[in-house]
Structure 1
Amino acid sequence: MIEEQAELCPEIEKSFELIGKRWTGLIIYVLFSGPKRFSEIHTLIPDLSKRVLTERMKELEGHGIVLRHVIPERPIRTEYLLTKKGNELAKILGPISQWAIKWMKVK
């Protein structure tokens, strides 16, 4: 539970800024079910442009939330998966998705 007099600290502000960026939460949510290739993520979130997806993936990788894994088989493939840090964040998004299904009806 959030304390009434909780003070915002830079870490909390930075976290909400990151999660609040358009598409970031959905990308993390999609990766929670397991590793995905770039094209799979793009297919699952079709309104997300490839340019923005590339930006978000680099940002999430830079924050240690997503790991870019190159599979050296022929043909060479790249998968993205959540790190331990990313999985902990994704667990928080589960209840948000349940809330969304209940309260955010799309007309």
Structure 2
Amino acid sequence: MRENVSEMPEYCTVEAAMEVVGGKWKMAILNYLTEGPRRFGELKRALPSITQRMLTRQLRELEADGIVLRTVYAQVPPKVEYSLTAIGKSLEDILKRLEEWGAWYREQRLP
């Protein structure tokens, strides 16, 4: 079970951040959401290796942590969009820097 971030000791700030955005898929999901609101199917197509169950789980965790907003539109058929909250948007620069670092690292590791 996930530890509540508010209950972690103050010195564990990196661990608190990783608890919220860590995992195999969360950073990729957040990276796509920096481009704007996305529907579930759009995220699933962008991440074809993720299972529907895992995508649902990751989105629910990000929503519970205040990073992602789930908006349900009252229409038929139902429409649900996911977008970044203000807290989620604060990660945009970090995601961009990680993307840059990943490209640099890949270049360093290529023969």
Q: Structure 1 length normalisation: TM-score? A: 0.84
Structure 2: tracts of 5 or more residues without a match: 1-9
* Equivalent residue pairs, number: 100
CA contact (8 A) 2:36 2:83 kept: yes
Q: Which amino acid aligns with 2:79?
A: R
SS at match of 1:68: strand
Divergent runs of 4+, >6 A:
none
1:87 aligns with 2:99: no
RMSD of aligned residue pairs (Cα, Å): 1.8
Q: SS state of the match for residue 72, structure 2?
A: strand
SS at match of 2:90: helix
SS in 2 for 1:69: strand
How many angstroms apart in 1 are the aligned matches of 2:43 and 2:17? 22
TM-score, with structure 2 as normaliser = 0.81
The percent identity for this pair of structures is 34
Q: Are 2:20 and 1:18 equivalent residues in the alignment?
A: yes
DSSP 3-state at the match of 1:12 = helix
